[in-house]
Structure 1
Amino acid sequence: MATLAHSIRRNAIGLGLFAIITGGTIALTQALTQDRIEQQIARAEAEALFDIIPEDRHDNQLLRDTVTLPATTALNDGEPLTAWVARRGDRPFGLIVPVTAPGGYSGDIRLLIGLNMKGTVLGVRVTSHRETPGLGDKIETKKSDWIYTFEGQSLDNPEPENWAVKKDGGAFDQFTGATITPRAVVDTVRDTLIYFRENRKQIRDTLRQPASPEDEPVTPGSLAGGDSAQEHS
């Protein structure tokens, strides 16, 4: 009996040590790679900002020029929005807002939405999602050109009631075999335009305050966590 008890105790200790070593190895690997992963995501998302508003269209430091906009539960968890401002000669002509589409097929879809001062969409880019490869991932520019259909659109074109996928009687195409993903994106772009219209005066007043040149650059990755657009379920 003593020999059996000793054997059980020895096995338990061995398993415990194995678990500790394995857990430590995993934690160390994550610690060593996390910063690099976050830097890669931040760099990719920063490129998305300049994809929406190219560098030759503004003369300010876009990554440094940010403003805080009114909080809203329609576009995030009710926190104030941090937007990037594009200016020419200190005059704002566009902004890019990070928002979350909560109705994705596999979870939240994070977006960057660019608008001009008239409330017209300059561009939309996906920065994070877990939609199904081959179906919902067509919201990515490298998978299809669907996301470009928002450029030049506003609440006047089409009318708010037509801001829906065609399956729901709206003006926007859905994907074959995937309606939930494009519906979530269309709804969120529409809600962003509504938010801009409802807060237009406050936003305009806020945008006239140029950022300090000493401010640190801000990237989408530093505002909210999440998987990059290249990672899917």
Structure 2
Amino acid sequence: MKKIVKDALVLFAITLVAGILLGVVYQITLDPIAKANENAKEKAYKAVLAEADSFETIDALPSDDDINASSDIDFSKDKVNEVAIGKKGSETAGYVVTVTDSDGYGGDIKFTVGISTDGKVLGVSFLSISETAGLGMRAKQDPSFTSQFTDKSDAVTSFSVVTDGSASESNANVDAIGGSTITSKSVTKGVNYALAVYKLVAGN
């Protein structure tokens, strides 16, 4: 009986010490992990808004109803993850909108969209994408696709995907990736969603 009690006490002591050590390790690594996540986020932001030297996250995001009411596009499969204002000194350099579109061929596609103060898309950078290698994954791997959203002479309120190679005929058209129309439409809808969010946030 005494041996059983002794073994139980030893086991309890070991468990207690292990729990305390795990708690200490967790607290020690908490700040570095948070810092690493923050650095990764800022890197993603600067990838689409290089002019900014700092970013301020917006807490009050537009509601789904307001976003859907602002456009004729069906955004039921889109959500806004975060919006940040890019600052260059005290001036606003632009906005970064992080969105997720759930209409990808392989599921959710999450990416950031950099938008200038006059509503032009400055960059698109993927955070997570699970499309087919050699097909839909080219949305991330081939910059010629995402570059179709940028370098426009005028701000585009909404982009459309074309499959006949005629994108150059209109500022608002985007050539689909060969064999990956679903992915192309998903990303394009996500960009349009980001633009709709930007307009509400910026008051444009």
The normalised TM-score by structure 1 is 0.56
How many Å separate the matches in 1 of 2:132 and 2:199? 33
Alpha carbons of structure 1 residues 44 and 70: separation in structure 2 relative to 1, 3 Å = closer
> Does 2:175 align with 1:184?
no
For 1:71, the equivalent position in structure 2 comes to 62
Q: How does 1:1-233 map to 2 (within 5 A)?
A: 45-54=41-50, 57-59=51-53, 61-62=54-55, 65-73=56-64, 74=75, 82-140=82-140, 142-153=141-152, 158=156, 160=158, 163-167=159-163, 171-201=173-203
Residue 82 of structure 1 deviates from its aligned partner by 3.0
Q: Within 2, Cα distance between the matches of 1:75 and 1:114?
A: 22
* Residues 61-111 of structure 1, C-alpha deviations (whole Å, 9 max, x = no match): 33xx222242343487767x5322221231212111110112100101001
Q: Percent identity?
A: 26
Shift of 1:196: 2.5
> Separation in 2 of the partners of 1:58 and 1:190?
22
Distance 1:178 1:92 in 2: 36
* Aligned CA-pair RMSD: 3.5
TM-score normalised by L of structure 2: 0.63
Q: Structure 1, residues 122-173: CA drift from partner, whole Å, max 9, x if none?
A: 1111110110111000111x4443112211349x65564xx22113987111
Q: Contact between 1:114 and 1:122, CA under 8 Å: does it hold in 2?
A: yes
User: Mean alpha-carbon deviation: is it higher for 67-76 or for 179-188?
Assistant: 67-76
| 8 Å CA contact retained: 1:139, 1:146 | yes
8 Å CA contact retained: 1:123, 1:148: yes
CA contact (8 A) 2:49 2:115 kept: no
Q: Name structure 2 gaps, 5 residues minimum.
A: 1-29, 65-74, 168-172
CA distance in 1, matches of 2:198, 2:124: 15
**Partner AA of 1:98 in structure 2:** T
C-alpha separation in 1, matches of 2:196 and 2:93: 18
Are the aligned partners of 2:61 and 2:83 in contact in 1 as well (CA < 8 Å)?
no
2-structure distance, mates of 1:114, 1:85: 10
Q: Which amino acid in structure 2 is aligned with residue 185 of structure 1?
A: V
- Maintained 8 Å contact 1:69/1:83: no
1:75–1:99 Cα contact (<8 Å) kept: no
Partner of 1:228: none
* Higher relative contact order (Cα pairs below 8 Å, separated by 6+ residues): 1
In structure 2, C-alpha distance between the alignment counterparts of 1:51 and 1:134, rounded to whole Å: 23
